[in-house]
Chain A
Amino acid sequence: MTTETTGPTGLADAPPAPGTDLGLSRDDLLAMYGLMSVARAIDERMWVLNRAGKIPFVISGQGHEGAQVAIAYALRKGHDWMVPYYRSVASLLTFGMHPREIMVAQFARAVDPSSGGRQMPGHYGTAERNILSVSSPVATQVLHATGIAYAAKLRQTGQVAITYLGEGSSNQGDFHEALNFAGIHKLPVVFVVENNGYAISVPMNLQSAVEDIAVRGAGYAMPGIIADGSDVLACYQIGRDAIERARAGEGPTLIEAKVTRMTAHSSDDQQTKYRSVDEIEAMKGSDPLPRYRERLRAAGVLDDAGEQRIGEEARQVVEDATDWAEAQVDPDPITAQQHVYAAAPPARMDDSLWRSARFMGDGGPLHAEESDRS
């Protein structure tokens, strides 16, 4: 298979209504801009909350939003499956997750639909939206998406699974095993590698013997496509084509979105130890948000009033989500025992009445075997 490079579609030759050739309406163009704006505003607020001491941890997606919104935009919400990773906020918003649900995970409150306050921020998922729960070991999810796609094919549901990972994760064995299996069975799955050039601190030249992760698609008989993550419409086209291809039974696609990580890896990382000030300054030029905004303005899709309105809406959404999330209650420690297993175990293995439990007293470990009793 070939590796194709789809470059920026370019401002100079943009038609008056860009994206119409892709079937996108002006509302779609603005909706994508709105999603990117909300994702950015949520992300920026997370850092403020972290610096204010209100939330202990932030993992960020700034710089990835254009690729995330655009590649996911053609998915069918509530039908297809999204298997995200920890930088996927903009993808999740595009697939229907509510900003309140994102923000309540930062505060780890009881009503957090992703985990009930059990997981670190960034580990999102909701069953009713077909968004699979995220873990921290990287690339495990790539196999899950492949299995979801196998079930979709066997059950003939017409679903497409899309999964996301960083380029660092693409060096794990699970990535190889997943693409191989998906390639063998031509599964309806789209693999999206968001290549921001760093696995925490390790640069691309120490991560991969090849410059482009997309070329690895050839090893699994699937197209490997490079997308410029700052070119939103190019990303949309590549994502849409891959999703349609999967749905038509033509097999998986590997997309490598070249993006920029505009923040440190996380709130616990000091990126100036391994990135130069010049590099950090220069990457602002690849920020997808202003680039897409200027493109919409140049085409007359967005004017001052529209820009102001969308910006104000994003601010309001974040205000509402933050206020609401912060006001929610913390989970009761007793809930930490729940959902270890589907059902409470039979009474005969209830060890709470055993002698050793009495010696433990109130400070003893909560017996997982007693879960789901409350």
Chain B
Amino acid sequence: MTYIESIRETLREEMRRDETMIILGEDVGRKGGVFLATDGLFDEFGGDRVLDTPLSESMIVGASIGAAVNGLRPVPEIQFADFILPAFNQIVSEAARLRYRSNGAFACPITIRAPYGGGVHGALYHSQSVEAYFAHVPGLKVVIPSTPHDARGLLRSSIRDDDPVLYFEHKKLYRSVRGEVPDGDYTIPLGEAKVVRAGTAVTVIGYGLMVQYALEAAELLEPEGVSVEVVDVRTLRPLDGETMLGSVRKTGKAVVVYEDNRFGGFGAELAAIIAEEAFDDLDGPVVRVTGPDVPGVPYNHDLEEWFMPNPERIADAVRRLADY
């Protein structure tokens, strides 16, 4: 099953399981979403529960908050993560704070899905990584799966969670990655990272597409005798620091990979945690492999290649750190 099939089938199952769940967003209805993530759901559940909205991102999230308060479980889709910014106020000022500001009286169980990431010729406004904006905010949960298996288990947990969750899906993974997806009603708890490849020399930590690239880098390095352990963060907030730190304490060396701009990216927080918590076990500096600090992913193929972290770049950094 592909990554996007896993997401679509999970949405379908959750809508069958919970009649209060609704999907709303731009083109999610008859068209089934611009990536077909909701294809077929309109026919099965009708236009009231799979709702095509106006081009109004703040409305998509703001109305979801209200609907959640009055007994529904909305799963809004923002067509591209790049277009989530008009809803930033609703997410950060409202969804994230509703429980806290009401002293626990109100909850906001919504799961905002949005495709993110570059490498698909989407240019400045169809390629962004926006996770750092939201992972910064207490009250929000941020989830980024890297495999079809995790996409299903994490999406189930997100939808059933009683807090607002941002669920980011890497566009390049939608159809490029296949994997086993069990039929059973399994969930993956929010807040559990995973060691997806065991190794001894260097730990590479990432999420989303970068996990796949880290695994490819590990394959490149294996013939050279460099043993790489890969940690998939999976849930950026709440963060499972212990799994990451456990790996780094073992290998003594850490490479943090993220596709977002380097400066102030989410991986900077990971690097800070490693520096603070695993100082005594480190045998080298904490290294970052990231997108460059330019305001967007350029369109031209060569320019986009220049922007994107890739397995070779990750392997180069690991190689240098291993020799440190």
Chain A residues in contact with chain B, CB under 8 A? 81, 83, 112-116, 118-119, 123, 125-127, 132-133, 135-137, 140, 142-152, 154-155, 157, 159, 161, 173-174, 177-178, 180-181, 184, 338-343, 345-346, 348-349, 351, 354-356, 368-369
Contact = CB atoms under 8 A, between A and B. Distances in A.
Contacts of A137: 89, 93-94
Given A151-B71, A177-B54, A349 B98 contact: no
Nearest to B104: A339
Interface residues of B, number: 56
Given A125-B102, A148-B67, A340-B138, A154 B72 contact: yes
Contacts of B162: 342-343
Given A118-B101, A127-B105, A356 B59 contact: no
Nearest to B96: A340
B56 A181 contact: yes
A115 B71 contact: no
A51 to B, nearest CB: 27
Contacts of A340: 99-100, 138-139
Contacts, number: 182
Interface stretch (B147-155, B233-241, B312-320): B233-241
B210 interface: no
B192 interface: yes
B187 interface: no
A184 B241 CA distance: 46
Contacts of A184: 54
A331 to B, nearest CB: 9
A262 to B, nearest CB: 28
Given A140-B90, A145-B66, A368-B138, A177 B104 contact: no
Given A155-B71, A349-B191, A181 B59 contact: yes
30 contacts: A114-B103, A132-B66, A133-B106, A135-B97, A137-B89, A140-B93, A140-B94, A142-B62, A144-B69, A146-B62, A146-B63, A147-B63, A147-B64, A147-B67, A148-B67, A150-B63, A151-B66, A151-B72, A155-B20, A161-B66, A173-B58, A339-B102, A340-B139, A342-B161, A346-B238, A346-B240, A349-B191, A349-B239, A351-B241, A369-B238
Given A140-B89, A340-B138, A346-B192, A181 B106 contact: no
Contacts of A146: 59, 62-63, 66
Contacts of B105: 113, 125-127, 133
A136 B93 CA distance: 9
Contacts of B70: 81, 147-148, 151-152, 155, 157, 159, 161
Nearest to A342: B162
A116 B53 contact: no
Interface in B25-59: 48-49, 53-54, 56, 58-59
From B67, B68, B90, name the one whose CB has the most chain A CB atoms within 10 angstroms.
Answer: B67
Contacts of A83: 66
Nearest to B278: A355
B93 A133 contact: no
B256 interface: no
Contacts of B63: 143-144, 146-147, 150, 178, 181
Given A140-B93, A143-B90, A150-B67, A114 B100 contact: no
Nearest to B48: A154
B277 interface: yes
Nearest to B102: A133
B241 to A, nearest CB: 6
A137 B239 CA distance: 29
A178 B59 contact: yes
A180 B103 contact: no
Contacts of A173: 58, 86
A157 B67 CA distance: 13
Contact of A181 (B53, B189, B279): B53
Given A115-B101, A354-B276, 4 more contacts: A143-B59, A146-B62, A147-B74, A342-B99
Nearest to B53: A181
A113 B105 CA distance: 8
Contact of A354 (B22, B58, B241): B241
Contacts of B20: 155
Contacts of A354: 241, 273, 276-277
Contacts of A132: 66, 69, 106
Contacts of B138: 340, 368
B242 interface: yes
Given A140-B90, A143-B90, A348 B192 contact: yes
A3 to B, nearest CB: 23
Contacts of A148: 66-67, 69-70
Contacts of A157: 70-71
B101 A119 contact: yes
A181 B276 contact: no
Contacts of B66: 83, 132, 143-151, 161
Interface pairs A-B: 8 shortest CB-CB: A147-B66, A143-B62, A116-B103, A147-B63, A151-B70, A177-B59, A339-B104, A144-B66
A328 to B, nearest CB: 14
A115 B102 contact: yes
Contacts of B49: 154
B32 to A, nearest CB: 21
Nearest to A151: B70
Nearest to B162: A342
A133 B98 contact: yes
Nearest to B243: A348
B94 A135 contact: yes
B81 interface: no
B65 interface: yes
Contacts of B22: 154
Contacts of A126: 105
Interface in B142-188: 161-163
A354 B72 CA distance: 39
